[in-house]
Amino acid sequence: MKEEQTDNTPAAVDHKKKMEELQEEMHAKIRSAKKKKGLLIVHTGNGKGKTTAAFGMLARMLAHKKKCAVIQFIK
């Protein structure tokens, strides 16, 4: 069983408090975000793996019931 290590030094306590404040600030920003945005991902470059990466990402997003599209430009 893994034991949780705790560091109760003043520096560690200060750091933990600052991180909790930053987390709360970030959570507040996320809660207040109302505008939904789309995402465009472009796979470029020489070599292999671009199509595999694109269709793998497509499969994951479809599994999460997200709207998806694939556009492929061929020279």
pLDDT in tens, 15-45: 999 999 999 999 999 889 888 888 899 999 9
pLDDT band of residue 58 (cuts 50, 70, 90) is: very high
Look up the pTM and report it: 0.51
Between 1 and 53, residue with greater pLDDT: 53
Identify the pLDDT of residue 38. Answer: 86
Reference 15, options 5, 7, 27; nearest CA is 7
* Extents of the domains making up the chain: 10-63
Q: What angle do CA 74, 58, 41 make, to 5 degrees?
A: 60
